[in-house]
Amino acid sequence: MKSILAFHKYTFSYKAPAILTIFYNLLFVIFNLISMILFIPFLQLIFRPGQITNLPKPIYNGGFTDFFIYCKDLYNYTMQEMVKEDPKYALLFVCISVLVAFFLKNLTRYGAIWYQSQLRMAVVRDVKDKIFSKAMKLPLSFYTEERKGDLMSRMNSDVGEIEIAVVAILELIYREPIAIIITVGSLLYISPQLTLISFILLPVSAFVISRIGKSLKRTAKLQQEQNGIVFSTIEEALGGIKIIKAFNAIPFMTERFRKINLRHQQLVTRTFRKKDLSPPLNEFLGAAVMICLVWFGGVMILNNDADSLTGEEFITFIIVFSQLLRPIQGIATAVGNLNKAEASRDRINEILDTNESIYETENPKKLHGLKNDIRLEGVSFKYKDEWVLKNINFDLKRGKTIALVGESGSGKSTIADLLPRFYDVNEGAIYIDDINIKEYGLEDLHKNIGIVSQESILFNDTVRNNIAFGRDDVSMELIVKAAKIAHADSFIDQLENGYDTVIGERGNKLSGGQKQRLSIARAVLKDPSILILDEATSALDTESERIVQGALDELMKDRTSLIIAHRMSTIINADEILVLSKGQIIERGKHRDLIALGGTYANLCGLQGIFN
Ligand SMILES: Nc1ncnc2c1ncn2[C@@H]1O[C@H](COP(=O)(O)OP(=O)(O)OP(=O)(O)O)[C@@H](O)[C@H]1O
């Protein structure tokens, strides 16, 4: 019930298409029935050709239900007049009426699908938009590799389930029950006795079918679990093949697999048998219900009880009755789809309800460029349980450069991530101009920090848009100026369409150095007072590195920079070098002093051929 309400909300987030879908579905149900009922006069003509009845011309007295009775009587009266003239005309008239009814039935069915498609895709778009916008706000700590894949799968398959549920709601609440009511109403109208009999028979067969369905579900679940066991056994065995051979354990493992595989085979066979039992059983039960109806109806006709049932009415009853199964099955399918979508809705809500965890203060302070310094005081940080940074202290004065060096995993990038508050410190604090960075607005803080990382983050768009990156208020002049400072202007000019060249996914039409220079141009244009360079030249060959380094030097002019580098040559001139190991600063000072110290830094430099 809760899920019905929840999905109802999704469905009616777009009222117009939802109501139009219901409207066309309703017309479809009515025309479907009319197309069946119109067969009665056809059968009359075939079975009793030339039989003349004497119906009076009907008169319409107003009123909603009277209208339908009037239509029926008028149709019968017209038929009667035609039969009097020439039965063949009447037959042609019936055929054309049936054809028109079928046309309208299918036209309205298409009308319903038309609006239904608009509705389901609009809801899907909304849910995807919501997840994406939430994903952009989630803290970096949310994104491990496995969660990225999981998020993508939620955006695809789970949203797909929601899409199905949106339609299921319309069918479950607005189409099938109406179809059942109208069909049952018609059955009652044709023959109340037969309707009563069929209502005793239907639940019996529905019970038998649902028992089989439930039992099938149980076996199918067992089979899927066993399938998992088979796969993990194969994976385990192939992964450990060396050990299996070395321990002469092949017969043991083969026997183990044989048993698991045998159990799997038994369960699959059982599932197939139960699944394959459905169609013949359905058909047999359907036939049994029909035969019972034929028996009772036949007896009524043979008793010459023409008042209660004529032959034509009986056949129409059977035809209309056969239409009852579709909405009943439709309800079963819709309920199944809603149950499946319920799990998907939970998974989507999990994302939408995740805490954004990096919060801003109520009245954030403004930051208009760094004035004095950035200070880390007793900063400690952990991603999960283990401390990654321990008691980090340093002071980066305006216009100066601090370089972080150290072995892989020592915590350099983590420090760089704390400054723009991608993560918040666990202990200690970071100050910009003596104010804790938590007191600044996030957007304001990010405005003041420029980042160039090892992997250039470029998008499948034009060079110009990649440099302007989200800002549509910048002139071409400024973009070209930024590109010139970043030493990118010359290669951009040589591109097919200059600044309007689309650079491909992740900029794959450009070389590593070119990509990096575009990232630098972007940072130049942003004109931040604080710069973070995280291994900006690490992925480049020597020649590209030289050009990019030139661009970086331009970028760093008059800015305050935090540099992370593996290549020591790029940081020799830094104002202070911090050597990190296992999350702690173990050495600090200028290049010359650290070389003289002969410690870790001197070793690292020595490995790269730098000895003084
Ligand atoms: N998102 C994360 N979740 C959990 N642990 C992480 C995460 N990112 C980094 N770590 C761990 O934190 C420690 C410090 O990583 P960090 O990336 O800061 O090191 P680094 O010095 O920049 O290394 P490298 O030079 O290889 O880039 C490592 O042990 C790493 O495994």
Tell me what ipTM this predicted complex has. Answer: 0.95
Work out whether strand 387-397 and strand 373-382 pair parallel, antiparallel, or are unpaired: antiparallel
What residue type is 238 in one-letter code?
L
User: What is the whole-number distance in angstroms between the Cα of residue 409 and the centre of ligand 1?
Assistant: 5
pLDDT of 446 strictly over 80: yes
Compute the distance between CA of residue 403 and CA of residue 389 in angstroms, rounded to an integer.
16
Residue 412 Cβ < 6 Å to ligand 1: yes
pLDDT at 145: 56
Residue 451 covered by a domain: yes
Compute the distance between CA of residue 341 and CA of residue 458 in angstroms, rounded to an integer.
36
User: What is the whole-number distance in angstroms between the Cα of residue 145 and the centre of ligand 1?
Assistant: 14
**Strand partners of residue 373:** 397
Mean pLDDT of 587-592: 92
User: What is the whole-number distance in angstroms between the Cα of residue 413 and the centre of ligand 1?
Assistant: 7
Residue 359 Cβ < 6 Å to ligand 1: no
pLDDT of 245 strictly over 90: no
Confidence grade of residue 40 (pLDDT, cut at 50, 70, 90): confident
Average pLDDT, the chain: 85
Radius of gyration of the chain (CA): 38
- Are 321 and 452 part of one and the same domain? no
pLDDT of 50 strictly over 60: no
Confidence grade of residue 53 (pLDDT, cut at 50, 70, 90): low
Atom of ligand 1 nearest to the CA of 580: 21
Q: Which residue has the higher pLDDT, 40 or 379?
A: 379
pLDDT at 589: 93
pLDDT at 382: 92
pLDDT at 387: 93
- Are 318 and 414 part of one and the same domain? no
Residue 411 Cβ < 6 Å to ligand 1: yes
Residue 606 Cβ < 6 Å to ligand 1: no
pLDDT at 49: 59
pLDDT at 28: 92
Residue 287 covered by a domain: no
Residue 582 covered by a domain: yes
Place of tokens 């149900």: 29
User: What is the whole-number distance in angstroms between the Cα of residue 583 and the centre of ligand 1?
Assistant: 10
pLDDT at 51: 59
- Are 315 and 425 part of one and the same domain? no
pLDDT at 305: 60
Strand order in the sheet with 387-397: 387-397, 373-382, 427-432, 435-436
pLDDT at 223: 78
The fraction of the chain above a pLDDT of 70, given in percent, is 96
Residue 211 covered by a domain: no
Contact 404, 342 (CB under 8 A): no
pLDDT at 161: 84
pLDDT at 360: 78
Compute the distance between CA of residue 287 and CA of residue 284 in angstroms, rounded to an integer.
5
Residue 410 Cβ < 6 Å to ligand 1: yes
Residue 300 covered by a domain: no
- Are 327 and 414 part of one and the same domain? no
Place of tokens 């666990």: 426
* Contacting residues for 453 by C-beta, under 8 A, at least 6 apart: 519, 534, 535, 536
Burial of 371 (0-12, 13-18, 19+ CB in 10 A): exposed
- Residues of the domain holding 167: 2-191+309-352
Q: Is 1 helix (H, G, I), strand (E, B) or coil?
A: coil
Tokens of 203: 């639940």
pLDDT of 357 strictly over 80: no
| pLDDT tens-place string over residues 276-287 | 877 788 778 878
- Are 389 and 333 part of one and the same domain? no
Q: Is 204 helix (H, G, I), strand (E, B) or coil?
A: helix
Q: Which residue has the higher pLDDT, 307 or 189?
A: 189
Contact 139, 354 (CB under 8 A): no
Residue 159 covered by a domain: yes
Work out whether strand 576-581 and strand 584-589 pair parallel, antiparallel, or are unpaired: antiparallel
Q: Which residue has the higher pLDDT, 603 or 71?
A: 603
Q: Which residue has the higher pLDDT, 245 or 475?
A: 475
- Are 490 and 583 part of one and the same domain? yes
pLDDT at 52: 56
- Are 341 and 389 part of one and the same domain? no
pLDDT at 98: 87
Residue 565 Cβ < 6 Å to ligand 1: no
Mean pLDDT of 5-31: 90
Q: Which residue has the higher pLDDT, 69 or 163?
A: 163
Q: Which residue has the higher pLDDT, 90 or 488?
A: 488
Q: Which residue has the higher pLDDT, 340 or 424?
A: 424
* Contacting residues for 541 by C-beta, under 8 A, at least 6 apart: 512, 513
| pLDDT tens-place string over residues 384-414 | 889 999 999 999 999 999 999 998 899 999 9
Contact 551, 520 (CB under 8 A): yes
Residue 346 covered by a domain: yes
pLDDT of 464 strictly over 70: yes
Q: Taking Cα atoms as reference points, which of 169, 129, 161, 119 lies closest to residue 13? A: 119
CATH of the domain at 519: 3.40.50.300
DSSP-assigned letter for residue 56: P
Highest mean pLDDT among 283-287, 297-301, 378-382: 378-382
* Contacting residues for 327 by C-beta, under 8 A, at least 6 apart: 175, 176, 177, 179, 180, 183
| pLDDT tens-place string over residues 497-544 | 899 998 877 777 888 888 888 888 888 888 899 999 988 777 677 777
Q: Where is the domain boundary, 318, 352, 386? A: 352
Residue 296 covered by a domain: no
Atom of ligand 1 nearest to the CA of 389: 14
Among 258-262, 318-322, 425-429, 503-507, the range scoring the smallest mean pLDDT is: 503-507
Confidence grade of residue 460 (pLDDT, cut at 50, 70, 90): confident
Tokens of 368: 């208009």
Residue 413 Cβ < 6 Å to ligand 1: yes
pLDDT at 324: 82
- Are 447 and 400 part of one and the same domain? yes
Nearest Cα residue to atom 9 of ligand 1 = 414
Q: Is 72 helix (H, G, I), strand (E, B) or coil?
A: helix
- Are 535 and 394 part of one and the same domain? yes
Q: Taking Cα atoms as reference points, which of 581, 531, 533, 538 lies closest to residue 560? A: 531
Q: Which of 383, 384, 392, 578 to mutate to test the pocket of ligand 1 (most atoms within 8 A of CB)?
A: 383
Strand order in the sheet with 530-534: 449-453, 530-534, 560-564, 401-406, 576-581, 584-589
- Are 134 and 187 part of one and the same domain? yes
Contact 453, 536 (CB under 8 A): yes
Q: Which residue has the higher pLDDT, 569 or 359?
A: 569
User: What is the whole-number distance in angstroms between the Cα of residue 142 and the centre of ligand 1?
Assistant: 15
- Are 97 and 186 part of one and the same domain? yes
pLDDT at 99: 92
Q: Taking Cα atoms as reference points, which of 214, 261, 213, 216 lies closest to residue 234? A: 261
pLDDT of 239 strictly over 80: no
| pLDDT tens-place string over residues 102-153 | 999 999 999 999 999 999 899 999 999 999 998 888 877 777 655 676 777 7
* Contacting residues for 259 by C-beta, under 8 A, at least 6 apart: none
How many domains is the chain partitioned into structurally?
2
pLDDT of 82 strictly over 70: yes
pLDDT of 551 strictly over 70: yes
Atom of ligand 1 nearest to the CA of 404: 21
pLDDT at 385: 87
Mean pLDDT of 428-442: 93
- Are 316 and 440 part of one and the same domain? no
Residue 194 Cβ < 6 Å to ligand 1: no
3-state secondary structure 410-434: CCHHHHHHHCCCCCCCCEEEEEECC
The sign of the dihedral angle between the CA atoms of 497, 500, 504, 506 is: positive
pLDDT of 42 strictly over 80: no
DSSP notation for 281-346: HHHHHHHHHHHHHHHHHHHHHHTT-TTT--HHHHHHHHHHHHTTHHHHHHHHHHHHHHHHHHHHHH
